[in-house]
Structure 1
């Protein structure tokens, strides 16, 4: 298990400077009343959870977790304004602290992001060298958020339809193609409403933060020690704002911009812009190793090769399964994690030079994961659509994404299509919580960020530090991998370990040199390495 497997992706968030049209369904005075009722409901739910605890036992066989990991469930209200009403059972996993009783510091709860990702496998990281000392001190705790997996699973369409391949993915879509995607977005939003019914509105970030408070109580922890990556940092920021006196230690790894004016439409446009820079980093690295990959000696030349392959796959999908959409999805992984660079470059090179099989192996959706992928996408969509106002006028989306795609074509329109159901969302939209605390309200917290991270651009880390007085920021300079704690950089890991074990942080900001770039993989070895690594 590689450290990178810890981190869920945030999907495709996006941002630009524009005025967002008010969403339908918002009623601010009534929303204030609802939030007050939810605050009371959270206290009731936490008290019940503290009394009940969690009965840990063997994990379900389907989870394929080792015997050292135990599983249980905790009940949370579907609607915190009705805490005695319908309950959702969240699955929780735990590996007990491996050190002696004198070393134990309680539970470390981890959320990998998404929205729509599970951390059920997180306790297994205690076996990795980077985590062993932390695992001696902490019970390592993962959980399945609401809507995910068996925790009141949300579905918006038939998984077979969701994964139908091959798919198209034009960089600069025609008007006819846009109309087709608008219709698809409307149908998807209707499917979410059919699948969830009145419960749809309750899949939200603020409820995820409230669920975390109930989980803290169920674990018997007086205060929460939490690490969130990617979207998990947004949940952590909400928790710190709602329950500051319940925070013991908190790590924010690869930070979602918490500014309520960016959540979520503007933050998605910012993300697309950042992906263009990271895509250039990948192409520059491939060009530097042209002796291995033979795809061009400049980033521009590598880009032309990639676009030529996209065009070919639109006419003749590789293996009848990999079209431009599957290609794009596979290579988006290279913009998230640089340890995908060698395998993706090898697949592209092999295809260009006559062997499509590595690309087919890497880019073909795996049938066994289709149901989980559809579920994750449904939760992602519901949470982001419910969380905040979105433009409801297609002309706003068209204007902003058309303009952005002129300079950032790699991911812009794919991001837009992923989020477009929010323009037609049938459930009420909420106003985002203004994340932040007063000075002294929180103990020291730790922020980790890679300077060139595309999924969560670096300015989000700066914004969160501004909003949480006393937070320290550790920056991996010149690097862009998403999710850096417990990964490849010993400098970053030293700060993480020191904080979790002692509570000490840098005075305000610290810097780490980047971890080494990947070594190129020869064409002969590429296929073997490819088969051993997971797909994004």
Structure 2
């Protein structure tokens, strides 16, 4: 499923990813892979590319959209091989953004602080850009980190403007109203399978042979080249959501190059789950978050009038969905658009008030707020299409997937009986991987031995659905010496630099002073959202 990505407090775009195998057991017919892609040729290619990048550095200047950015934000490019097995072959450019460390601690009267080099960030996806991450230094919760670190973000390979991928005309990505059945008919499944196959063909036709080089192992190698280009002897990295997965791959491939790493909302790195089973686990987890959201709405029935029990709220939602199927709101919002908008509320608690208000207003005869929230954005069609193309390419290239739709049908029909909210929409998002024309990787088995990797910090919300909590536990188990900080009884996706002062205290202690708790720690949840009757 396409998860939203984030920059926590600033709220940016995500995906993320997913987790443990469902209780139903292993999928049949997983397809075939072509190996891990971690052989001698790729290793030497990464070394050669990093050496070239270290010699060239980065020439920072105006950013692609410089007119809309503060003058402190500067951009440049880093050249990486398209194929690390052939480092002298075709190369592509990754666009990097940076804001220099301010050098003055706002909590200490603006006194000078030790500058600690670059903090490189990835917000997740696959398909999200961290290019504008450095601007987060203007957010109060990030000012101490911005004092000590050059904040660096970048657009990963495939994400515009870094050798952007495309799978279809962007205008086609702006979908009109469509159904979102929780019990799709055989005819509807056949229709969506045909669409998925056509989409996969479009990716191959537009990208050609280059398509197979957009995957997580190459994202990890690109990160090593960026480190070298920045002139950093060792990498300080923070990844959120999907960014934790290829960050973990980096830790496995280049443990001696790690200074400090923060993994926020961790993907389960178990190779058995990448990515088919992880998506099944994610769909199951979103059912619980959907219940959390409905429980909150029911507690504020005096504000929204959608029911005073979670079941009554679900009835109100389904009544709206049926009405939208008959007559789309504003001619643009049907059941699928409604579901997508409410699914996003599963990522971020602060989305709850506006979604509840929009649903309430719609059922009272005012479709305006719902159209505003869920309607298509034509002006962002190219960005949306590009993000979807990268998401699809990376997830499909990363691992074997079932190639027989009967496997998808069996597993998801079974899952949808207990988790109907997200299951089938998740299938349609990922189904192009059943028809993928490019060769697949075999997922790397991430494990580090004691002393091989510096201690790393893992952050997780206990009820996160986009990257279920089991993933954080598994990552901690696999990275020897890592420490997990949990936001208890909370479900927002991405917790670093957000409203939880306890979480931020651990983050700052680690990144500023290298201090971790002696053992796993926990923080009380952030306050629940405040209901609002108006936008």
Question: TM (normalized to structure 2)?
Answer: 0.95
1:45 aligns with 2:49: yes
CA contact (8 A) 2:362 2:370 kept: yes
Q: 1:314 aligns with which of 319, 325, 330?
A: 325
- Tell me how far 1:2 sits from its aligned partner: 7.4
CA contact (8 A) 2:293 2:352 kept: yes
Q: 1:18 aligns with which of 21, 25, 29?
A: 25
- Tell me how far 1:171 sits from its aligned partner: 1.2
Q: 1:116 aligns with which of 102, 127, 142?
A: 127
- Tell me how far 1:35 sits from its aligned partner: 2.6
Q: 2:508 aligns with which of 483, 493, 497?
A: 497
1:61 aligned residue: 65
SS in 2 for 1:72: strand
Q: How does 1:221-232 map to 2 (within 5 A)?
A: 221-232=232-243
- Which one is further off, 4-13 or 500-509? 4-13
Distance in structure 1 (CA, Å) of the matches to 2:525 and 2:116? 31
Distance in structure 2 (CA, Å) of the matches to 1:437 and 1:262? 19
Q: How does 1:360-379 map to 2 (within 5 A)?
A: 360-379=371-390
SS in 2 for 1:252: strand
SS in 1 for 2:152: strand
SS in 2 for 1:43: helix
- Tell me how far 1:61 sits from its aligned partner: 2.5
Distance in structure 1 (CA, Å) of the matches to 2:430 and 2:525? 32
CA contact (8 A) 1:257 1:459 kept: yes
CA contact (8 A) 1:106 1:221 kept: yes
CA contact (8 A) 2:284 2:415 kept: yes
Q: 1:158 aligns with which of 163, 169, 179?
A: 169
Deviations 1:442-493 (A, max 9, x none): 1110000000000000000000000011101000000000000000100000
CA contact (8 A) 2:236 2:258 kept: yes
Q: 2:295 aligns with which of 263, 272, 284?
A: 284
Q: Closer, same or farther in 2 for the Cα pair 1:387/1:27, shift >3 Å?
A: closer
1:403 aligns with 2:414: yes
Distance in structure 1 (CA, Å) of the matches to 2:67 and 2:287? 36
1:131 aligns with 2:142: yes
Q: 1:251 aligns with which of 258, 262, 267?
A: 262
- Tell me how far 1:3 sits from its aligned partner: 1.4
SS in 2 for 1:437: coil
- Tell me how far 1:13 sits from its aligned partner: 7.6
- Which one is further off, 156-165 or 312-321? 156-165
1:474 aligned residue: 485
1:72 aligned residue: 76
- Tell me how far 1:7 sits from its aligned partner: 5.3
CA contact (8 A) 1:97 1:137 kept: yes
Distance in structure 2 (CA, Å) of the matches to 1:13 and 1:381? 17
1:448 aligns with 2:464: no
How many aligned positions are there?
521
- Tell me how far 1:129 sits from its aligned partner: 1.0
Distance in structure 1 (CA, Å) of the matches to 2:27 and 2:415? 16
1:36 aligns with 2:47: no
Distance in structure 2 (CA, Å) of the matches to 1:11 and 1:315? 33
SS in 1 for 2:265: strand
SS in 1 for 2:345: helix
1:531 aligned residue: none
Distance in structure 2 (CA, Å) of the matches to 1:99 and 1:380? 37
1:5 aligned residue: 11
Question: TM (normalized to structure 1)?
Answer: 0.95
Distance in structure 2 (CA, Å) of the matches to 1:337 and 1:25? 36
CA contact (8 A) 1:471 1:508 kept: no
Distance in structure 2 (CA, Å) of the matches to 1:87 and 1:23? 32
SS in 2 for 1:447: strand
CA contact (8 A) 1:12 1:418 kept: no
- Tell me how far 1:201 sits from its aligned partner: 0.5
Distance in structure 1 (CA, Å) of the matches to 2:88 and 2:42? 12
- Tell me how far 1:169 sits from its aligned partner: 1.3
Distance in structure 2 (CA, Å) of the matches to 1:72 and 1:171? 46
Q: What is the root-mean-square deviation in Å for CA atoms of aligned residues?
A: 1.5
1:205 aligns with 2:253: no
Deviations 1:411-437 (A, max 9, x none): 000001110110111011111000111
| Runs of 4+ with >6 A deviation | 11-14
- Tell me how far 1:167 sits from its aligned partner: 1.9
Deviations 1:386-428 (A, max 9, x none): 0011111111100010011011000000001110110111011
Distance in structure 1 (CA, Å) of the matches to 2:272 and 2:12? 29
Deviations 1:292-345 (A, max 9, x none): 000000001000110111111111000100001111111111100000000000
Deviations 1:199-255 (A, max 9, x none): 010000000000000000000000000000000000110000000000000000000
- Tell me how far 1:266 sits from its aligned partner: 0.4
CA contact (8 A) 1:107 1:225 kept: yes
Q: Closer, same or farther in 2 for the Cα pair 1:57/1:36, shift >3 Å?
A: same
- Segments of 5+ residues of structure 1 without an aligned counterpart are 527-536
